[in-house]
Amino acid sequence: MSREKTIFTRIIEGELPCHKLFEDEYVIAFLDIQPLARGHTLVVPKESAPSMDKLSAESASALGRSLPSLCRAVMRATGATAYNLLQNNGREAGMSVPHVHIHIIPRYPDSTHSFLWGPGEIDHSEASKLAEAISATMD
């Protein structure tokens, strides 16, 4: 069953405009249209996977490979002092465009946005079983 084209596929195919920073065979990067901070960038694989677990290893490698250089460029061009990489998967996780993408969100001395969460406490005996279960399920 074919899915409807995402906004990002429409950008990749040139149907919609974007402020493009970078493009190669597998990846495109452009500025977020509703930036959380100046220079907020989206790094998007051209393969239209709805979440990271569905992305091919080939696209994932290209995505990962592009990141250090893009992060450096965003930092240099904006003068940001730090940045967050954010990657949502699934609506419940805050994903609004179901096409894998990584946010590069610059941080400035006067930035006020936050990604704080309340840390829990690990249960080591449950954690060791869980780590084993996850490890055993990897393909």
- The answer to whether residues 62 and 53 touch, using CB atoms and an 8 Å cutoff, is no
C-alpha to C-alpha distances, 50 to 9, 38, 43, 108, nearest whole angstrom: 11, 26, 14, 31
The single residue among 88, 100, 102, 105 that binds ligand AMP, judged by CB under 6 A, is 88
Site track for ligand AMP across 37-66, x = CB under 6 A: -----x------------------------
- Among this protein's residues, is 113 annotated catalytic? no
C-alpha 49, offset from chain centre: 12
Tell the smallest beta-carbon distance from residue 106 to ligand AMP (Å).
14
Nearer to ligand AMP, 96 or 125 (CB): 96
